[in-house]
Chains A and B, each alone.
Chain A
Amino acid sequence: GAVVSQHPSRVICKSGTSVKIECRSLDFQATTMFWYRQFPKQSLMLMATSNEGSKATYEQGVEKDKFLINHASLTLSTLTVTSAHPEDSSFYICSARDPGLAGGSDTQYFGPGTRLTVL
């Protein structure tokens, strides 16, 4: 199946620093990528939809100036958590949409996630 990588897998940082997370689709071109966060024992919450070559679409309540998303190519999207604070500590997961063959069912493939801890 399709593979999506995410880097780093784990990061610990001090409050006030910025953290950049990369999401790559390794064997398909992803025009659309999604960024989620998940708190312990909670469901995945969609933060934003990232479209290659255009601005990301943020979900209600997600600060676009705090969570900067760049989708510079068909295989790479980045999420930068700016001026991170302890309440930003969470599991951040990206996914990439594989449109599949014409007439087929498109599916999402997830990266392995990034566990962010802000001290």
Chain B
Amino acid sequence: RKEVEQDPGPFNVPEGATVAFNCTYSNSASQSFFWYRQDCRKEPKLLMSVYSSGNEDGRFTAQLNRASQYISLLIRDSKLSDSATYLCVVNKGSYIPTFGRGTSLIVHP
């Protein structure tokens, strides 16, 4: 089993739709979690950290389920500009980050 797994997609959704991605991790000792966004041929950019209690930033909501070892990202009211690859990042205790392979999102008119 890979350390961090994501459905590569692509997820094709119309503008205005709500879409959710999950990311599972295998190491129960993982300590911090993040979602990054990567546009084509660009570097990843931090979208949001994921806190145990769940957190929201505008249209984006991130949640952590330690019991089932997954994190999720929910995007409401999708915009065309949300089209990108969303990377799940899990840090183990030594702060060595492990990336998922990313989930591709395509928002169409």
| Same assembly | yes
Q: Which residues of A contact B (CB under 8 A)?
A: 1, 32, 34, 42-44, 46, 49, 91, 93, 95, 97, 105-113, 115
Shortest distance between the CB of A22 and any CB in chain B (Å) = 15
A42 to B51, CA, bound (A): 27
Chain B facing A: main interface SS: strand
The 8 A-B pairs with the shortest beta carbon distances in the complex, nearest first, are A43-B101, A110-B43, A113-B43, A44-B99, A112-B43, A110-B44, A105-B49, A93-B43
Q: Are B99 and A43 in contact (CB under 8 A)?
A: yes
Total A-B residue pairs with C-beta atoms closer than 8 Å?
46
* Complex interface bits, B31-49 against A, C-beta within 8 A gives 1, otherwise 0: 0101010000111111001
**Interface size range of chain B in the complex:** 20 to 34
Q: Are B89 and A110 in contact (CB under 8 A)?
A: no
Q: Which residues of B contact A (CB under 8 A)?
A: 32, 34, 36, 41-46, 49, 51, 87, 89, 91, 95-102
